[in-house]
Amino acid sequence: MAENCSHDCSSCGADCASRGKQNLKKPLHELSDVKKVIAVVSGKGGVGKSMTCALLAAAAQNKGKVTAVMDADITGPSIPRMFGLTEHAKGGENGILPVLTDGGIQVISMNVLLENEAEPVVWRGSLISGTVLQFWTDVIWTGVDIMFIDMPPGTGDVPLTVFQSIPLDGIVIVTSPQDLVGMIVQKAVNMAQMMNVPILGIVENMSYIKCPDCGRKLSVFGESGVDALALEYGIPNVAKLPIDSELTKAADSGNIENLGNNYLSDFFDKILKKLK
Ligand code: ADP
């Protein structure tokens, strides 16, 4: 048991005897059906977690999976912009309905609930965690094969609550080459291991830039360390995402679903195999 135990496991990560007796997982809405849930996590913000989440969702939808995205990054939601969503979510008698992208991906995000998307969410952690859990319990997710959760960055209060309360089938870790020699990633790996959630793969974003003249891969942020890291933790599925202005353009114009080249398509196939 943790020192100074408050007997409230929802705000504690210690793996002790009292936790074993509690099931902190929250039920889905009675009209919802979600088969697999993957959380996309990063040790810190700005590394391309939402980009990875959006590309994975687009890859899944493209392969005929009924796909959903839960944007749990409450204070920095970017999923609606990447999919060009301008509509608001509608509430019915039975619950909240997600907004649909052009390709049919079901999305819920703070930005499709706010009147004005520029409004800042200045909330305490407990309120933010409560909202994320409501995205799970109060939204009607219809016949979803695979849901991706765009997690808030870091290993703080909100990610911890999501890990404890939503039955995750696995996580994908997003990192960048300059992540302090993997220290920040190690925190995310340790958190997943503490919570007994399988790590399905690591994406190194902004890994390189391709020279438009000679096609050589240039490591602008230094040599990649992700292979060594993946080896150390026994994670065989690694993807390296280049800095590509087509990605920025597609994300900024709401066209992430319509990219000709989805860099994470093969990576997603390997995830699917692991999930079976
Ligand atoms: P995070 O979710 O980790 O905070 P985002 O996915 O929102 O980060 O990415 C931050 C910004 O960088 C966004 O404007 C996004 O479009 C851009 N971006 C992310 N990855 C790439 C990439 N590989 N190439 C070009 N732009 C990228």
50 in contact with ligand 1, CB cutoff 6 A: yes
User: In 205-243, which ranges are E strands?
Assistant: 209-210, 217-218, 238-240
Task: Let me know if 20 is exposed, middle or buried by CB neighbors in 10 A (0-12, 13-18, 19+).
Answer: exposed
* Residue at token pair 């280049």: 242
- Residues 166, 201, 203, 154: is their CA dihedral positive or negative? positive
Decide whether any atom of ligand 1 lies within 6 Å of the 74 Cβ. no
Residue range 145-179, pLDDT digits in tens: 999 999 988 878 888 888 899 999 999 999 888 76
The alpha carbon of 50 and the centre of ligand 1 are apart by a number of angstroms equal to 7
The per-residue pLDDT for range 209-222, each reduced to its tens digit, is: 999 899 899 988 87
- For the Cβ of 49 lying below 6 angstroms from any atom of ligand 1, the answer is yes
Tell whether ligand 1 has an atom less than 6 A from the beta carbon of residue 244.
yes
User: What pLDDT was estimated at residue 156?
Assistant: 81
Whether the Cβ atoms of residue 140 and residue 29 lie closer than 8 Å to each other: yes
Report how far ligand 1's centroid is from the alpha carbon of 41 (Å): 14
Q: Compute, in angstroms, the gap from residue 66 CA to the centroid of ligand 1.
A: 25
User: Is residue 192 within a helix (H) or strand (E), and if so which, with residue range?
Assistant: helix 183-194
Percent of the chain at pLDDT above 70?
91
CA–CA separation, 115 vs 38, rounded Å? Answer: 29
**Tokens at 39, concatenated:** 């959380």
